[in-house]
Amino acid sequence: MGEWFKAVGLVMLGGSLGAASRYAIGLLAAKAWGVQFPWGTLLVNLSGCFLIGLLFALADRARLLTPEMRLLLITGYLGALTTFSSFTLETVNAGRAGLTLQPLANILVNNIGGLALTILGMRLGGLN
């Protein structure tokens, strides 16, 4: 049970830092480039995708990250910075595992389903 609490604590610590980073990057991007386009979201999604790929590769190939650091940085920090990075890593790993239908289904369901449910939620909340 102690290991479980330690793991959850690491994810929570990384998650809080990732969420704060996401907020700060969004504010800085809006200040620098305006709010006509969601530059902050784009920036955290793209940088998070790059960082999760890099950290995963380093952890996998060079054993550079301990399991605890993976929980802190990949699951916690990058998971809170952008869930898009987790989505892309899972999709790429499914492709690397030789699966063909699962990555395609993951892309289609996440993107089309996510857009549809966002619209549904907005309509249920009273927005057109």
Neighbour tally for 41: CB within 10 Å? 15
pLDDT of residue 107: 94
pLDDT of residue 15: 97
pLDDT of residue 19: 96
pLDDT of residue 38: 85
* Longest pairwise C-alpha distance within the chain: 51
pLDDT tens, residue by residue, 46-105: 888 888 888 888 887 888 889 999 999 999 999 999 888 888 888 999 999 999 999 999
pLDDT of residue 25: 95
Mean pLDDT value of segment 8-32: 96
Q: Is the pLDDT of residue 17 over 90?
A: yes
DSSP state of 62: S
Return the amino acid letter for 115: L
pLDDT of residue 5: 95
